Structure 1
Amino acid sequence: MAADRSRADTLRWMAQGTRTFFDALITLPDDRLARPTALDGWTGRHLLAHVAANADALVNLAHWARTGEETPMYSSPARRDADIEAGAARPAAELRAWAARAAETLEARLAELDERQWARQVRTAQGRHVPAEEIPWMRAREVMVHAVDLGAGVGFDDLPADFLAALIDDITAKRSGNGAGPALTLTATGHNGTWTVSGTGDPAPVTGTLAGLTAYLSGRRTDGVTGAEGRPAPELPHWL
């Protein structure tokens, strides 16, 4: 884990993100969940099914950490996609209940882990081997970002600043690791943070608020984020 991202931080962000997501969800009537979201091909129902299935998948990793029994997040990428499609077709009340129940179960399973179990290696859906301490960060990222994606009035600027800075750290490291996009130098206005992304070409300067940079790096709306001389910031490939 990043040196400035402790387990206490990630558990706190997971709890905050869960509250933010479900507080936003409760404001959406069932018919709104049937509408498209900004995520290509997904309605609100797909998004909610994904968040529910993600909690179930992370419960699998918590079980792996607690018992040492290898329990992958998903049996396969195809099964994951099929489960989201099937979940999106559930009655709205059942879908909401699944998401709430899965979130509560994940919180309970993580609370059972001891120090040795938190350190046990598990495997993410992308195939990375990480200590179980990464699980609450993985969940915090899901519920925080998807609270925005719900389209219920939550924006990146409503999320905690320390979480946004940590997420920028995470995304810039991933983008630098794959090297598929443009090289960037990022500067946050109203904050002392600067980041670099390794990639192709000379580094392009990009400026925006913490919230704006997080939206830009994660492939969401980029209001207020600018490139050199006020031009649009470079387009980026998918983050995950």
Structure 2
Amino acid sequence: MSAATRTPTDARTWARTGTELLLDAVASLDEDGFSALSVLPGWTRKHVVAHVAANADALCNLVHWAATGEERPMYASAEERAAGIAEGPALSAGELRSWLTASADRLAQGLDGLTDEQWQHEVVTAQGRTVPATELLWMRAREVCVHAADLGTGVVTFADLPRGFLAALAEEIRVKRGLAGLPDGPLPEVAAWLAGRPHSLAGAPELGPWL
């Protein structure tokens, strides 16, 4: 599934599903559970949750841009983005859950408030891409779905993510990595491999991290 066939309606559904999966994955974590290592090298689950919460806050800036025309970048600087992630280990389990939930709610409300015209307004991502506001739905879907699996709690794996999302994700990463073909295997495992995450594909070459 390419960007041409992936629709904003698809992405909105996947973003909502991924948010629910993520919140379910952290619902029962205590302090030790939050402090445990995630799937991402060098990151605890606190780092992952703080990153996703800060991402929602940053996307709210782009929603504001789309709604008002006032330029508001996702992050004021690379240092600000890094600071949001680094803040995670200093917060308690309750504080992280509250931040994650509140930021997701703010973003959802902001997105729901955009008009048909505002959805077509262009904004600039943290990577410098100029995109219509509709792309924010896909950006958020990737964050919540992939990082829900990154928590490594066993509650959410790539196999639990929507199949349509996995197909769109795999195609996007395949193109960005310049791969002509993909190894044989179940779609969740292929998507995990492409994203540089743990997988069960035998003989697949190691790829660097993505997202």
Q: TM-score range by the shorter chain?
A: over 0.9
- Greater relative contact order (CA < 8 Å, ≥ 6 in sequence): 2
RMSD: 1.3
Give the greater-gyration-radius structure (CA). 1
Q: CA deviation at 1:173?
A: 2.1
> In 2, are the aligned partners of 1:121 and 1:131 still within 8 Å (CA)?
yes
Output aligned runs, 1:82-121, within 5 Å.
82-121=83-122
Residue aligned with 1:207, SS: coil
Distance 2:10 2:112 in 1: 15
Output aligned runs, 1:68-217, within 5 Å.
68-153=69-154, 154-176=156-178, 183-186=179-182, 206-217=183-194
Partner AA of 1:172 in structure 2: R
Distance 1:173 1:89 in 2: 38
Residue aligned with 2:198, SS: coil
* Structure 2 unpaired stretches of 5+: none
- Of 191, 194, 219, 2:196 maps to 219
Query: Structure 1 length normalisation: TM-score?
Result: 0.83
* Structure 1 unpaired stretches of 5+: 177-182, 187-205, 227-231
Tell me the residue number matched to 1:197.
none
Residue by residue over 1:177-217, the C-alpha shift from the partner in whole angstroms, topping out at 9 and shown as x without a partner, is xxxxxx4411xxxxxxxxxxxxxxxxxxx211100000000
Distance 1:48 1:173 in 2: 28
Q: Which consecutive aligned stretches of 4+ in structure 1 deviate over 3 angstroms post-superposition? A: none
Q: CA deviation at 1:7?
A: 1.1
1:235 paired to 2:195: no
Identity %: 50
Residue by residue over 1:40-84, the C-alpha shift from the partner in whole angstroms, topping out at 9 and shown as x without a partner, is 211111111001000000101100100111111111112111121
Distance 2:184 2:142 in 1: 22
Distance 1:44 1:29 in 2: 11
Residue aligned with 2:40, SS: coil
Residue by residue over 1:210-239, the C-alpha shift from the partner in whole angstroms, topping out at 9 and shown as x without a partner, is 00000000011121x23xxxxx11122332
Residue aligned with 1:208, SS: coil
From the two aligned structures, give the one with the greater strand fraction. 1
Distance 2:162 2:98 in 1: 27
Distance 2:108 2:98 in 1: 16
Distance 2:40 2:51 in 1: 12
Partner AA of 2:193 in structure 1: Y
> In 2, are the aligned partners of 1:60 and 1:72 still within 8 Å (CA)?
yes
Residue aligned with 2:207, SS: coil
From the two aligned structures, give the one with the greater helix fraction. 2
